[in-house]
Amino acid sequence: MRVYLGSDHAGFELKANLISWLREAGHEPVDCGPASYVPDDDYPVYVMRAARGVADDPGSLGIVIGGSGNGEQIAANKIPGIRAALAWTEETARLARQHNDANVLSLGARMYSDTDALGFAKVFIETPFSQEARHARRLTMIADFEKSGELPPLPGTA
């Protein structure tokens, strides 16, 4: 599995650990930066490149990392075709894939241990989308909005 990664200073060390783990697990990590620790860097520069990599490479996944993961999730979700989910437990990582077919995982390096973060990433990468009709229907609504800018119709009005 090709996995695009981007972080800021707060996620720099965790990103390096994730890249090592991904390689050891037989995945293909793509480091979108930063290449070195810069204490006041700006996460959108790197996170949006990782998300763009995922959007341009069907079948790949992404992991974006910051202090809380919130800003990184927001930035990644600005790239059309990206469904970035913030995980704080293995279950939230699993559900992001099973129910939402999330293609980018957002992690908060200051929110939990590296061991926990690696566990969330492992679950995220190994969990497939469920393909359940209700989940697919909801994703279609989101994709349609992304293309047209029109909100989904209210129930009973279509």
Instruction: Look at residue 2 and give its three-state secondary structure.
Output: strand
CA angle, 140 as apex, 135 and 142 as ends, to 5°?
100
Q: Among 13, 24, 90, 99, which one carries the catalytic annotation?
A: 99
Q: Is 135 a catalytic residue?
A: no
Q: Among 27, 72, 90, 150, which one carries the catalytic annotation?
A: 72
Q: Is 72 a catalytic residue?
A: yes
Cβ atoms 47, 84 nearer than 8 A: no
What is the Cα–Cα distance from 147 to 145, expressed in whole angstroms?
A: 5
Instruction: Report CA Rg, the chain.
Output: 16
Show the beta-strand stretches assigned E in 8-153.
Answer: 28-31, 61-66, 84-86, 104-108
Q: Could you list the active site residues?
A: 72, 99
